[in-house]
Amino acid sequence: MKKDVYVSDPWWKNSVVYQVYPRSFFDFNDDGVGDLKGLWAHASRLAALGIGAVWLSPVYVSPMRDNGYDIANYDAIDPTFGSLDDLDDVIDILHSLGIRLIMDLVVNHTSSDHPWFKESCDPDSPKRDWYIWRSRRSECTPNEGAGPGEWRGDEPNQWRSAFSGPTWTWHEPSQSYYMHLFSPEQPDLNWENPELRQEIYAMMRRWLDRGVDGFRMDVINLISKPENLYEDGPGGLDRAMFGPRFHEYMQEMRREVFDAYPDRTFLTVGETPGATPDQASLTTDPTRRELDMVFQFEHMGLDSADGDKFHPKPLHLPDMKENLARWCRELEGRGWNALYLSNHDQPRPVSRFGNDREYRHQSATAWGAMLHAHKGTPFVYQGEEIGMANFPWESIDQFNDVETINYWRECVELGGQDPTQVWPGIVAMSRDNARTPVQWADLPHGGFGSSATPWLPVNPDYSQVNVSDQASDPNSTWCFYQTMIGLRDSYEILTEGSFELLQAEDEHLWWVRREWHGEILDAVANMSDEPYELALPEGEVLLANYPDAAEHRSTGVLRPWETVWIWR
Ligand code: GLC
C-alpha cells in the first residue's frame, strides 16, 4: 500500500545504508587523509540523499597496515581521524538528521600492536590463550592430531592467508606459530576463550552506551576455527567459514550485548565470505536471535576465473540476475538480505559491470536501480551515488592496499610471473579503486581537502564527475539515487513485496517484479550498449534514468542502459 510515509518495524527494513570509508570521505583538517570532522561537515549532504544509516569503516587506533582493519585499541579513535569528542559530534549530528550510525566491529583479529597480542606473546601470560598459538607440526602431540599427510611443511597446517603467504607466522622467542587469516600484523583472536569473549562484549556495550546504533561485523563468520588445526589439506579462509561454534557465539553475543537494551532497535550486519543462502538464513532468521542480515559474496565472484579475484572475466548477466534472485527466494520468510554492489573492498561497479565511458550515468543508475529493486536492505558505498569509476592506474607504486601489493609481490617479484600478465587484473580489481578520495567538486584534489596532497590520488575525471555539480542537476546520478532512495518511504511494496525474476535467461534485459496487496512494481533495465525492443507494461513511471522516459515509452524501445520502475 502506498502510504505518505512508510516506516517499517524494524527500521532497517526500509532504510538505505550508506558506507563511509573515512580515510577517503572528506579531509577536514587538510592533512591529506579524511577524518571524522569531514563526515560531520557533510552529514547534511547525506541527509539530503535520504539514507537511514551510515556504516562507518574503522576509526579506532591502528597502525593502518590494513587501513584500520587492524585495531590496536578498540576504545579510542585514531588521531588521524580525530577524537572521541569528534565521534560524539558525528553521532549527534547524524541523529539530529534522523540518520543512525553503525560502527565497524573487527573482532576476528586485532593488530599485532594491540597490547593483548603483546602480552599474549609471553607463554606465561594469562592472555596467551586469547590468540591462536601452536607448536611446529613435527612437535605436535598425538592428541593434537596431525595426520600422516602428504604435506611436509612445519607450520601447523598449509593454509594460505587472504593477503598472500602462509596463515602462520613463527614467533622465535616463544618457539611457536600464531595464526593470521589475513596479514601477519593481524593475528586472529581465539574465540574459544570465554574471558576474551566477555571482554569483546563489554567493549561493544561501551559503544552502544555512547549512542551507536549497531555494528557491521568484519569477517564475522571466520571467528570459530575448526577444532583440529593440524588437519591436513590446502585451504585458507574457506576452512574457517561458519566454524563449529559460530552460531553459538552469535546467540551469546545477542544475549550479552544487544539484549541489555530492550528499548532500542539495533542493526547488525555480518560480513560473511562463503555464505550460502542456507547459512545466511540460519544466521538471520529472527527467531534464532543472531544477526539481522549478512553480506554474501557469491555475486562478487561471478566475474572472476579460477576463484582468483585478480583473474577477472566478463560477467554473464544471467548469472548475476539468477544469483540475486536466488538469494531473494531463499531468504523469503526465513531471513533478510543485505544488497550491495560495492564497498571499500570491491572495484567501482560502473567500471566493473557498466560502461564508464559512453554511458556512465545510464549504466551506473541501471545497476543501482536493479539492485535496489530486490528485496532486502540496500547499501550504497560512498561515491557510488555519483557514478565514481575505477582509477586509471599507471604503476604499482601508486597503490597503497596491502592485498594488492602482496599479491603483486607474490606473483611478480617472488613468483617470476610476467608483469604484463598480472597487471590488468590488478588494475581492474584492486581494492584501491574504491578508496580514491570522494570527488566533491571541480576544485583542486576534487575538493577532498584544500591544499594537502591526498593519501591516494584523486581520479582525474573529478571535473566532470563530482557531488557539487550533480546535486544541482536534476538529471544526474546523484539525483537519481536521491529519488530512488526516497521512494522507499512511500512504497511499502519495495520493502515487503514478493519478488520474481522475469526472462531470467535474457542476456541484456533485467526485469524484476514485486507484488504486494494487488499492486505491482516492475523494475526493468536494458543492461547493454545497444537498443532493446520491449513493450513496457502500463503504469506510472516512478523512476527513470532518461528524462523523457514516460514519452519515449510508446516507441517500444529501451535505449542503452535505460531503466524504469513502473508501478500499478
Ligand atoms: C574484511 C574487510 C577488509 C579487511 C579484512 C580484514 O574483509 O572488509 O577491508 O581487509 O576484512 O580485516
pLDDT tens string 195-210: 999 999 999 999 999 9
Q: 563-567 and 267-271 as β-strands: parallel, antiparallel, unpaired?
A: unpaired
Q: Give the pLDDT band (50/70/90) at residue 143.
A: low
Compute the average pLDDT of residues 213-220: 98
Using the mean position of ligand 1's atoms as its centre, give its distance from the Cα of residue 478 in Å: 27
| Greater model confidence, 7 or 42 | 42
pLDDT digits (tens, 9 = 90+) for 490-512: 999 999 999 999 999 999 999 99
Beta carbon of 69 within 6 Å of any ligand 1 atom: yes
Beta carbon of 66 within 6 Å of any ligand 1 atom: yes
Q: What is the C-alpha radius of gyration for the chain, rounded to an integer number of angstroms?
A: 24
CB-CB contact of 40 with 50 (8 Å): no
Residue 160 has pLDDT above 90, yes or no: yes
Q: What is the mean pLDDT of the chain?
A: 96
Q: Give the pLDDT band (50/70/90) at residue 311.
A: very high
Compute CA 102 distance to the chain's CA centroid, rounded to the nearest angstrom: 13
Is 271 annotated in the active site? yes
Beta carbon of 480 within 6 Å of any ligand 1 atom: no
pLDDT digits (tens, 9 = 90+) for 84-120: 999 999 999 999 999 999 999 999 999 999 999 999 9
Using the mean position of ligand 1's atoms as its centre, give its distance from the Cα of residue 355 in Å: 28
User: CA 291, CA 267: separation in Å to the nearest integer?
Assistant: 8
Which residue, judged by its Cα, is nearest atom 2 of ligand 1?
218
Using the mean position of ligand 1's atoms as its centre, give its distance from the Cα of residue 106 in Å: 8
Using the mean position of ligand 1's atoms as its centre, give its distance from the Cα of residue 273 in Å: 10
pLDDT at 145: 65
Active-site position among 70, 78, 86, 271? 271
Is 218 annotated in the active site? yes
Compute the average pLDDT of residues 512-519: 97
Compute the average pLDDT of residues 158-172: 96
| Residue keyed to cell 573487527 | 106
pTM: 0.97
DSSP state of 456: S
Which residue, judged by its Cα, is nearest atom 12 of ligand 1?
69
Beta carbon of 219 within 6 Å of any ligand 1 atom: yes
Q: CA nearest 82: which of 129, 145, 33?
A: 33
Q: CA nearest 100: which of 212, 184, 260?
A: 212
Residue 299 has pLDDT above 70, yes or no: yes
User: CA 234, CA 199: separation in Å to the nearest integer?
Assistant: 33
Beta carbon of 218 within 6 Å of any ligand 1 atom: yes
Terminal Cα distance for the chain, rounded: 11
